[in-house]
Amino acid sequence: MDKSKRYLIVGLGLLGGKYALELTRAGYHVDGINRSEGHLQYALDHGYIQSGKTRDFEDLVRQADHIVFGLYPTTFLEWFRVYGKLLKPGCIFTDVSGVKTGLVNEIQALCPPGVEFIASHPMAGRETSSVEHAAEVNFAPANFIITPTGKNTPAGIAWAKELAQVLGFEHICTLSVEEHDRMIGYVSQLCHAIAVSLMCANDNASLSEYTGDSFRDLTRIARINEKMWSELFLWNKANLIAEIDQFEEALQQLRSALAAGDRDGLERIFRLSTERRAAFDKKER
Amino acid sequence: MDKSKRYLIVGLGLLGGKYALELTRAGYHVDGINRSEGHLQYALDHGYIQSGKTRDFEDLVRQADHIVFGLYPTTFLEWFRVYGKLLKPGCIFTDVSGVKTGLVNEIQALCPPGVEFIASHPMAGRETSSVEHAAEVNFAPANFIITPTGKNTPAGIAWAKELAQVLGFEHICTLSVEEHDRMIGYVSQLCHAIAVSLMCANDNASLSEYTGDSFRDLTRIARINEKMWSELFLWNKANLIAEIDQFEEALQQLRSALAAGDRDGLERIFRLSTERRAAFDKKER
């Protein structure tokens, strides 16, 4: 990527902050726009960005060669409806949103001529939020998903890949918007729905004394950023409901075998699970 | 614990093998009884036991001051019905079974005079099995649960606690048989039922490329020892079905809020989950 290009991060949260940090470390010029003065100052103090504004930021937008929107989808759309027209021809920009349907096509339709939105999703970031935790995020083992549409160009996609490499991602791949949202419904959102439900199912204040690894593993993600996740869930509602229903069906099958005292049935279910998990483990290496 | 006492491990599996290993390391005399000649030999070769037999083992049983049964509950009961009468007066013994109802009272009723069964459950051992993995097991961070009944004596309970300490457990506690099985239904068995159902819900062969930590966390225990777990599930059927139903209710509540587009409802559920998980984290430290 061209080091003379000016980068702009809009939304210096956990991921926006981490992108700024890595791009600056790699020698790029990075400016920031953020609603909160305090977090903007934090980013400046830590050298994540070279300059930043909370308002009257139109010039920063006009000058940017590349922009990363570290905003939740709803906020991103609202912002773009107002300021999107300021992006200069040739600007290629991306986002970090965990859901793509309802976002990518809409933003692309609002782009001025010569401006390209190549959407992407960094599947990273634990359940912390805020730029103050940005330095703790590790991109190396995480998946970076690029979600191009018919409106994207080879140059746009290439830029997104290079960006991911500069950021430190070792696993970069491409999915359509629809494939991405179906995938995320299962591998991420359903998991969060399950972890949260498990945590809420039982008034388990006394149980921490007795837990083993299995409970800890399943509820690690039950500490959940409620604002972000309710938004992502609602944006991907249809897919997530389908995944919840499919999961319920599998659990009901297990419950039925259990209720019927069907040992063979249970063992069949367990064997299938073990085979799939083993295949999954193999692929990961 | 008295080092002149003779220890006997019946069932040199993952946990039986680990108990043998630790007791021998601590300077106790340990014999073994195992169905498989190969695994018995492994235990001898690795110095986990000083002597062992696959059959004609009556004398080993008669001489034992303390016994640990590393057998699944059904096998343990069957064995005890045949050989339990050989235990000598003064013998105090325990088990490693993950379910206590239907086991403890029954075994205690079969004990000869002067023989005491103090049941316990080491909540450890990953999804491997077999004595060949015994050395990988780490008891220090795990919970050791003692489940005394009205038939147990202070001396018996004290022995179980000392045994746990010699084995390296740092968290030792006591629950009634009923409390244990209710607890295990939620913190362990329900988690396994969920992980397995999640793995079976989707033909996810292609998804390993896209997963993040959440999916890995939730399915770590989906590689499941089908023989042991189908037995434990069926032995604790009523409790586990109640837990599955309670979990389903919580998940349905989330699904309803989602389907209704009820953002506030979703955020309330997420906040409750976060509060509980945070309280849980605090207690763990």
Q: What tens digit of pLDDT does each residue of A254-271 get?
A: 999 999 999 999 999 999
- pLDDT band, very low/low/confident/very high, at B78 (cuts 50, 70, 90): very high
Res. B169: pLDDT tops 80: yes
Q: Please give the Cα distance from B220 to B217 (Å, whole number).
A: 6
Q: What tens digit of pLDDT does each residue of B90-112 get?
A: 999 999 999 999 999 999 999 99
Q: Please give the Cα distance from B260 to B22 (Å, whole number).
A: 56
Res. A43: pLDDT tops 60: yes
- The per-residue pLDDT for A285 is 47
Across the interface, whether the CB atoms of A266 and B199 are under 8 A apart is answered no
Confirm or reject contact between A271 and chain B (CB < 8 A). yes
Query: Residue B231: its chain A contacts at CB < 8 A?
Result: 263
Nearest by CB to A202, from B209, B215, B246: name it: B246
Q: Do B247 and B239 meet the contact criterion of CB atoms below 8 Å apart?
A: no
Q: What is the mean pLDDT of residues A42-67?
A: 96
DSSP string for residues in B64-91 = -SEEEE-S-HHHHHHHHHHHGGGSPTT-
Which residue of chain A has the CA closest to B140?
Answer: A212
Confirm or reject contact between A285 and chain B (CB < 8 A). no
Q: Who has greater pLDDT, B141 or B10?
A: B10
Strands of the A171-174 sheet, one edge to the other? A120-123, A143-146, A171-174
Ramachandran assignment for B125, one of left (phi > 0), alpha (psi -120 to 50 degrees), beta (any other): left
Confirm or reject contact between A201 and chain B (CB < 8 A). yes
Residue type, A210: Y
Q: Please give the Cα distance from B144 to B166 (Å, whole number).
A: 12
Q: What is the mean pLDDT of residues A92-96?
A: 97
Q: What is the mean pLDDT of residues A152-158?
A: 97
Across the interface, whether the CB atoms of A207 and B230 are under 8 A apart is answered no
How far is the CA of A28 from the CAs of A7, A51, A166, A282, B232, in angstroms?
7, 13, 10, 38, 58
Residues in chain A, total? 285
Q: What is the mean pLDDT of residues A189-195?
A: 95
Give the per-residue SS3 of B261-282. Answer: CCHHHHHHHHHHHHHHHHHHHH
Q: ipTM value of the model?
A: 0.87
Which residue of chain A has the CA closest to B181?
Answer: A210
- The per-residue pLDDT for B283 is 61
Structure tokens at B177: 């048989």
- pLDDT band, very low/low/confident/very high, at B215 (cuts 50, 70, 90): confident
Q: Which of B191, B241, B195 is nearest to A258 (CA)?
A: B241
Q: Please give the Cα distance from A53 to B135 (Å, whole number).
A: 58
Confirm or reject contact between B160 and chain A (CB < 8 A). no
Please state, rounded to an integer, the average pLDDT across all residues of chain A. 92
Q: Please give the Cα distance from A136 to A167 (Å, whole number).
A: 14
Across the interface, whether the CB atoms of B223 and A273 are under 8 A apart is answered yes
Res. A284: pLDDT tops 60: no
Q: What tens digit of pLDDT does each residue of B235-283 get?
A: 999 999 999 999 999 999 999 999 999 999 999 999 999 998 888 776 6
Query: Residue B243: its chain A contacts at CB < 8 A?
Result: 201-202
Query: Residue B277: its chain A contacts at CB < 8 A?
Result: 199, 219, 222-223
